[in-house]
Structure 1
Amino acid sequence: MIDLNALKFSHRKKEILFDNLCFNLKSGSITGLLGKNGAGKTTLLKLIAGMIFPKDGKVEVMGYTPRKREPNFLKQLYYLPEEFYLPNTSVKFYVKANAVFYPNFDHELMDLQMQKFEIPVDNRLDKMSYGQKKKFLIAFALATKSKLIILDEPTNGLDIPSKSIFRRMLAGALSEDQLVLISTHQVKDVENLIDRIMILDHGEMIMNREILDISEKYQFTTVRDTKSIEPLYEESGPIGSRVILPGNGNSSPVDIELLFNATTSGIKLT
């Protein structure tokens, strides 16, 4: 699905952001892309979508070179940026005008998701709040049934009930030939949704693993005293220490925030 090899990229007159970046992603997953501010998450998404171009190296997505922006590539890709613009038109007209670019667009699914988000189909986009616009675009993105759906900070602007609807909606709307790539700072919003995690740090992909693999190899828990154990990583909390321990043979729910903090602090989890 996505294959990057020896990718190099830098913004004009700035230091190199990516140097020899390599990774591979297959379809059939919801992948979370995490990283600190300035790590290059949005830049990487734009490179994958063909919105900006690498200085060197290989970027191949669904068998296409994104920078060529071929129609057969674009009709299988939907990219929802964090910052977006919507025209002064109605929901119905927007869907009618844009759905035709996606051959697998599911109008019934779009209507269902609009109902779940409680957005009337006769609303005008320019009269909506930021949160309503974001919900509309999320519904549209999933209705395209694109093979690759890229969501940059999708839960920004959503209230708590809408975030819950978003998680259920995304989990139930995908097929095995699709890949959803989510970049977010809101780790808790996707913690029980993603099945693969990628962590970008200083231009390097320091983690690209399935959540199931992590849950089987490590134990995430809270303990009152760490004197009798040797945690791989620990953080002090109000009721004890949050720790990562070697796995005990059973699957453990993954604390993605703790995992992120450990990995970006230099802890090597093999």
Structure 2
Amino acid sequence: MISLQHLHFSYRKGRPVLDDVSLSLRPGRIYGLLGRNGAGKSSLLYNICGLLFPQSGKSEVIGFDPSKREPSFLQQIYLLPEVFRLPDMDIAQYLQLFTPFYPAFDHSGFHQYLEVFEIPRNHQLSALSHGQQKKVLIAFAIATRAKVLLMDEPTNGLDIPSKHQFRKVIAGSLAEDQCMIISTHQVKDLDSLIDEVIIMDGTHVILQEPVTRITEKLSFRHVMSLEETEAPLYTEGALKGYAVVAVNRRQEHSRLDMEMFFNAVLLEKKSILPLFKQ
């Protein structure tokens, strides 16, 4: 569905932002794109949707070259940016103006999502808070039924109840022929949503793995003493004892702690990354 091969991108003639990035993404999956601020996550999303163009490499998204920006391609891809500005109109006017661009737009679904987000149907957009405006855009993005949905830091500006609503809406929205990439540095917001994890560090993608394979290779535990765990790869102090990432030698089942895994990979690359090359 999305194939990136040896992508190189930089702004004008500055330092590389994406360096030899290759990814293969399938439909029916939600991908969590993780990385520090400035790691190139947004630039990668903008290359996928054709708003930025690579200096070299090849991109193919749902059978199209994104850089050509063909109308039949744009109808099937939607980017929710981190920074946005909504026009001074009500929600009904916004729908009337923008839904014609998306032939598969689900009006009924859009209003259901607004109900989950507790947003009045015909409110003036300019009268909404920033977080409420973002929830309108999230509802709109999902309702487009675009084949590729790209969300750049969608939980920024959302309060804790709204983040719960976001997870509820996303969890039941993806069809088998759709692919979603959610970029974030607020890693905990993606727990339980993600099918595959992509981690960027510097200008590179250093890991792409399904959640099932991560928990097959590693165990995530809380222990009172580090002596309870054989050779932990990564530890964090907790309120009671320690949170630990260790090699899953006994094939135990544990729930992926996305934030711990992200920190562990960045700090212990030499120990963790080789486990996924076996």
TM-score (norm 1): 0.96
Q: Which residue of 1 aligns with 2:125?
A: 125
Query: Residues 1-270 of structure 1 correspond to what in structure 2 (within 5 A)?
Result: 1-227=1-227, 229-247=230-248, 248-265=250-267, 266=269, 267-269=271-273, 270=275
Offset of 1:128 from its aligned partner? 1.1
Per-residue CA deviations over 1:106-147 (Å, capped at 9, x if unaligned) read 110011111111111221111111011000000000101111
Aligned residue type for 2:265: T
Bigger CA drift: 113-122 or 68-77? 113-122
**For 2:203 and 2:162, how far apart are their aligned partners in 1?**
33
Unaligned segments of structure 1, at least 5 residues: none
**For 2:113 and 2:236, how far apart are their aligned partners in 1?**
39
Q: Secondary structure at the match of 2:227?
A: coil
Offset of 1:268 from its aligned partner? 2.4
Bigger CA drift: 130-139 or 183-192? 183-192
How many residue pairs match? The answer is 270
**For 1:48 and 1:260, how far apart are their aligned partners in 2?**
23
Aligned residue type for 1:158: L
Offset of 1:241 from its aligned partner? 2.1
Unaligned segments of structure 2, at least 5 residues: none
Quick check: 2:35–2:199 contact (8 Å CA) kept in 1? yes
Per-residue CA deviations over 1:19-58 (Å, capped at 9, x if unaligned) read 2111111111111000011100001110011001000001
Bigger CA drift: 229-238 or 20-29? 229-238
Quick check: 1:206–1:263 contact (8 Å CA) kept in 2? no
Give me the CA root mean square deviation: 1.2
Offset of 1:148 from its aligned partner? 0.5
Offset of 1:225 from its aligned partner? 2.0
**For 2:173 and 2:89, how far apart are their aligned partners in 1?**
27
**For 1:67 and 1:128, how far apart are their aligned partners in 2?**
34
Per-residue CA deviations over 1:73-111 (Å, capped at 9, x if unaligned) read 100001000001111111001011111111111110011
Offset of 1:13 from its aligned partner? 3.7
Quick check: 2:190–2:258 contact (8 Å CA) kept in 1? no
Q: Secondary structure at the match of 1:268?
A: helix
**For 2:152 and 2:18, how far apart are their aligned partners in 1?**
19
**For 2:207 and 2:51, how far apart are their aligned partners in 1?**
25
Aligned residue type for 1:230: A
**For 1:164 and 1:235, how far apart are their aligned partners in 2?**
25
**For 1:218 and 1:171, how far apart are their aligned partners in 2?**
25
Offset of 1:16 from its aligned partner? 1.5
Offset of 1:169 from its aligned partner? 0.8
Aligned residue type for 1:242: A
Bigger CA drift: 222-231 or 117-126? 222-231
Q: Secondary structure at the match of 1:151?
A: strand
Bigger CA drift: 225-234 or 97-106? 225-234
Quick check: 2:17–2:43 contact (8 Å CA) kept in 1? no
Quick check: 2:8–2:56 contact (8 Å CA) kept in 1? yes
Identity %: 46
**For 1:251 and 1:268, how far apart are their aligned partners in 2?**
18
Per-residue CA deviations over 1:208-241 (Å, capped at 9, x if unaligned) read 0111111122110122222352112222333222
Bigger CA drift: 234-243 or 123-132? 234-243
